[in-house]
Every structure is written in C-alpha cells, then in structure tokens.
C-alpha cells in the first residue's frame, strides 16, 4: 500500500474541526481518489479540554503548533490558527524550515508575509497551498493559477466578504439602516472580534492582494490596496442606487494598467441584473477576466465549516497526489514588485447630493462638473418636502481625480445642503 500523507492540524476552530470531520468521514474515498491514505497524526489548539464534538483520541496532542509542525510523524502542516503573525507564522516557518509542506486558510498571513514565506518555502522545495484563504469553498486560486495559466489576466474582481454582502443585501431587502443591520449581524455572530476586519474591508483586501499576486505575477502587496469599507453606506444610497438599476457591493478590483497595478476595495455600484448585482446574503463571487477565456464567474459560500474545510482538503488532496509547485504560480524570486497605481482607470460615477431650493441650483452643479470635464449620463431630481432637493447624477466615464476636483469645487456654488456622496460604478 502507498505511504499515507500524514497531517498535523494546528487550530481546531470551525475550519479545523471541519477538516478532522472530513478525514474521518471520508477516509476510504480520500484514499481511492488520492491513491494513498490521508491521515491525521497530531492536532494542536489553545484549549485541550474544550468539547468540540470530535473524536480526537487517536491523535497526538501538542500545545504548541511549532512542536506540531516539527513532529516526525507530520508530513504536512495544516495551519488553521489564523492571525498574520504569532503562532500561525511561527508554525508555518518551522514547517518550512523542516522541509514540510503547508496548507493554510490564513489570508492575513499571506497578504502580509506571503512573499517572504514563498521565498523561504521555495528555497526549501516546500509547497504552501491556500485555496481556503480566498472565498472559502470557491476554487478561485486553482482557477486563476492553473486553469487560466495561459491567459494574460485583465481584471480580477469579487465580493469576498460574506458579512459585508449580508449587511448590504439585508439593508436593501428590509429597508433598514446600516447601524441596525450591523447590530443584527453582530448578534448572529457574523462579525469578526474586530468588526473593522469585515466592514472596514480589510479581510476582503487581504484576499484581493493574494489574487492580484497570482493574476499579475507580482509580489503580494496588501499595503497598496486602496481601501474603503462599507461603514458610510446609507439606506438612502441603497435605495437611490436601486432606483437607477444598481446594487451596492463591497467590490474588490485588481487590474494592471499602463501606470501600474491598481488594487481597489470599495463600495461600488454594479448593475442589478449582473451576476454580482444578484449576489445575495453571505455568498461570495469572484469574476476572472482573461484575454483568451473572456469572463469566468465563480459563486459559492465564502466561509463556514464545510466550504472552507473542503478547500483545505482540496489542497491536501493535491499534495497527496504529488502535485506541487510555486506558491504564487511562478517562482517567488521571479515575481515583480508592482508599481502601485491608484484608480487611474476611468469609470462612471454615481453622485447623490441634496441641493438647496434655489433657482439655478442644478445648473451650477452641472457647470462645476462640466468645468472638470465630467459629462452627465443620467440625472434625477426627486420631489421633496424638505427644503433640500435630492438629486442623483450618473456621470459618463471620468477619472477619479477629475471627480475629486469637481466635488472640491461644489461648496463654492452655495447650493449644497450637505456633502455629496460619490460611488464608483464598476462595469461588470
């Protein structure tokens, strides 16, 4: 019989428990598909006594994930501890130093230390696999790095934080304010301990930075992501966007431009009828665009025990089958350092403003836009009881810098009742 592939699982939270359950439930199936048994030698977690509803008595226990990684009976470290630094990174580095492969779901660690870890792993001939780090069960890392390996990637985008998508779609469907839905999501346990990781777009940006590295052959560069969360999205914007045929999504976009690599994570308007516009609740969606394949859309659960454990085990199965390769699709030493470019790709914008009820108010705003070189595609002024008139404008494509200039010039018109809201419309 072929040698088993022996796992050491660090972290027995939701995902780690899911991995243990799959290995136990499907031992025979995994063996017949991989051509060898996949077994667990040892596990590690913070609290040994916690009842996880798992049979763990067949496995050795290590309090320290580094000791787990170094065990002689562990071939692959499955790192599910989380956190960019600390024990997760220490265990990963220890595994690599010992010449072992690593499977991880840790987007923060890869987004911040991916290049260094990849260099270390490749120097030792080790693999680091991380399908579970981006969009849970959706096989986007494999699709991008393997299936589309013969494409020049043009754009990668996606809704990659289920909690934000839940909040935005719930605001829309229930007509509730951001604060109310935030509280609901918190009560449901949907939010990270530090909720800015979710609603501030940080978690999703980690994922975007990882995808960009694979897509464009560049060193992962989280700090270069132009980042804006969903905290300032109001129910008024959700309603106004819907009225113009759009949905608001926390959308990550990475594309290579003439000026460098643009990575943006921000609320965007997308057509309500597009696949992204129709994405409801906590689902994730990733859109890949390549010069040969055109557009590929992948949709699935972006989190949760089953989907994330499925992705971890997909990577484990690859290693069991002897499929290995560079961490980011090509050797880390050959990855270019990308020039970060901030939003140079022109786009239409949505502008919501409240104008004072003065004669010529709209004309003055239109003049300011015109002077900044921005032309208007659509405009709606709504009837109102307030002294201020709600006005929506959809512009033709413009650069964000031009829009910033126009917005900066608007207060001088004396017709604004409040600060205008501008949201990019992404063509999807």
Residue ranges in 315-374 that form contacts with its own copies under rule CB under 8 A: 316-318, 321, 323, 325-326, 329-331, 334
Q: Give the contacts of 231 (CB within 8 A, at least 6 positions apart).
A: 178, 199, 200
Alpha-carbon distance 420 to 380, whole Å? 15
4 part of the interface to its own copies, by CB under 8 A: no
30 part of the interface to its own copies, by CB under 8 A: yes
Q: Give the contacts of 154 (CB within 8 A, at least 6 positions apart).
A: 255, 256, 289, 290, 291
Residue 296 backbone phi and psi in degrees, to 5: -115, 135
CB 356 within 8 A of CB 387: yes
The least distance separating its own copies from the CB of residue 136, rounded to whole angstroms, comes to 8
Among 4, 195, 271, 275, binds its own copies (CB under 8 A): 275
Task: Point out which residues pair with 267 in neighbouring strands.
Answer: 250
Q: How far is CA 233 from the centre of its chain?
A: 19
Among 5, 34, 128, 365, binds its own copies (CB under 8 A): 34
1 part of the interface to its own copies, by CB under 8 A: no
> Is 207 one of the catalytic residues?
yes
Of the pair 260, 304, the CB lying nearest its own copies is at: 304
Among 57, 150, 258, 385, binds its own copies (CB under 8 A): 150
The least distance separating its own copies from the CB of residue 422, rounded to whole angstroms, comes to 29
Q: In Å, what is the CA distance from 278 to each residue of 76, 169, 268? A: 39, 10, 14
- The alpha carbons of the chain give a radius of gyration, in whole angstroms, of 24
307 part of the interface to its own copies, by CB under 8 A: yes
Of the pair 32, 381, the CB lying nearest its own copies is at: 32
Strand pairing class (294-301; 283-290): antiparallel
**Residue 12 burial (CB count, 10 A):** 23
313 part of the interface to its own copies, by CB under 8 A: yes
Alpha-carbon distance 98 to 95, whole Å? 5
The least distance separating its own copies from the CB of residue 212, rounded to whole angstroms, comes to 16
The least distance separating its own copies from the CB of residue 381, rounded to whole angstroms, comes to 32
Q: In Å, what is the CA distance from 126 to each residue of 80, 103, 123, 131? A: 18, 11, 8, 16
Among 85, 179, 236, 291, binds its own copies (CB under 8 A): 291
Any idea what DSSP says for residue 125?
T
Of the pair 258, 359, the CB lying nearest its own copies is at: 258
Among 294, 360, 370, 373, binds its own copies (CB under 8 A): 294
Among 56, 177, 293, 402, binds its own copies (CB under 8 A): 293
Longest dimension (CA), the chain: 86
DSSP string, 357-395: S-TTHHHHHHHHHHHTT--EEEEEE---SSSEEEEEEEE
The least distance separating its own copies from the CB of residue 301, rounded to whole angstroms, comes to 5
CB 232 within 8 A of CB 352: no
Binding mask 126-145 for its own copies (x = CB under 8 A): -----x-----xxx--xx--
- Closest-CA residue to 62 (of 108, 117, 99, 7): 7
Among 186, 196, 295, 418, binds its own copies (CB under 8 A): 295
Among 73, 85, 152, 194, binds its own copies (CB under 8 A): 152
Q: Per the residue annotation, which of 207, 249, 397, 404 is the catalytic one?
A: 207
234 part of the interface to its own copies, by CB under 8 A: no
Task: Return residues touching its own copies (CB under 8 A).
Answer: 18, 22, 26, 29-30, 32-35, 131, 137-139, 142-143, 146-152, 217, 273, 275, 278, 290-301, 304, 306-307, 309-311, 313-314, 316-318, 321, 323, 325-326, 329-331, 334
* Residues designated catalytic: 207
């Amino acid at each position: 019989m072929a040698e088993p592939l022996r796992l050491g699982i660090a972290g027995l939270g939701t995902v780690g428990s899911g991995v243990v359950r799959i290995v136990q439930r499907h031992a025979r199936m995994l063996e017949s598909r991989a051509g060898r048994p996949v077994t667990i030698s040892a596990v590690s977690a913070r609290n040994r006594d916690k009842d996880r509803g798992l049979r763990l008595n067949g496995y050795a226990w290590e309090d320290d994930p580094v000791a787990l990684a170094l065990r002689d009976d562990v071939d692959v470290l499955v790192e599910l501890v989380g956190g960019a630094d600390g024990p997760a990174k220490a265990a990963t580095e220890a595994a690599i130093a010992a010449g072992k492969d690593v499977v991880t779901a840790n987007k923060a660690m890869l987004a911040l230390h991916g290049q260094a870890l990849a260099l270390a792993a490749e120097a030792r001939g080790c693999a680091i696999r991380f399908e579970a780090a981006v969009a849970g069960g959706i096989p986007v890392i494999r699709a991008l790095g393997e299936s589309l390996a013969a494409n020049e990637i043009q754009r990668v985008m996606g809704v990659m934080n289920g909690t934000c998508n839940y909040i935005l779609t719930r605001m829309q469907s229930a007509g509730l304010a951001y604060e109310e839905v935030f509280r609901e999501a918190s009560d449901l346990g949907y939010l990270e301990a530090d909720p800015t990781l979710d609603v501030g777009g940080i978690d999703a940006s980690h994922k975007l930075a990882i995808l960009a590295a694979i897509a464009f052959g560049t060193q992962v560069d989280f700090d270069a992501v132009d980042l804006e969360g969903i905290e300032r999205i109001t129910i008024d914007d959700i309603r106004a966007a819907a009225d113009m045929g759009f949905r608001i999504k926390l959308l990550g976009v990475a594309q290579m431009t003439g000026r460098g690599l643009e990575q943006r994570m921000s609320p965007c308007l997308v057509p309500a009828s597009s696949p992204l516009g129709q994405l409801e609740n906590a689902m994730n969606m990733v859109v890949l665009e390549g010069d040969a394949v055109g557009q590929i859309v992948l949709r699935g659960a972006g989190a949760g025990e089953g989907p994330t454990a499925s992705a971890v085990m997909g990577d484990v199965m690859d290693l069991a089958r002897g499929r290995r390769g560079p961490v980011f699709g090509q050797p880390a030493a050959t990855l270019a350092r990308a020039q970060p470019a901030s939003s140079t790709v022109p786009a239409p914008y949505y502008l919501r403003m409240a104008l004072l009820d003065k004669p010529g108010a709209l004309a003055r705003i239109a003049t300011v836009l015109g002077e900044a070189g921005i032309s208007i595609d659509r405009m709606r002024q709504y009837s109102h009881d307030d002294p201020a008139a709600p006005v929506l404008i959809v512009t033709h494509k413009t650069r964000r810098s031009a829009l910033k200039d126009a917005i900066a010039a608007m207060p001088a018109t004396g017709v604004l009742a409040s600060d205008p809201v501008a949201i990019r419309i992404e063509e999807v």
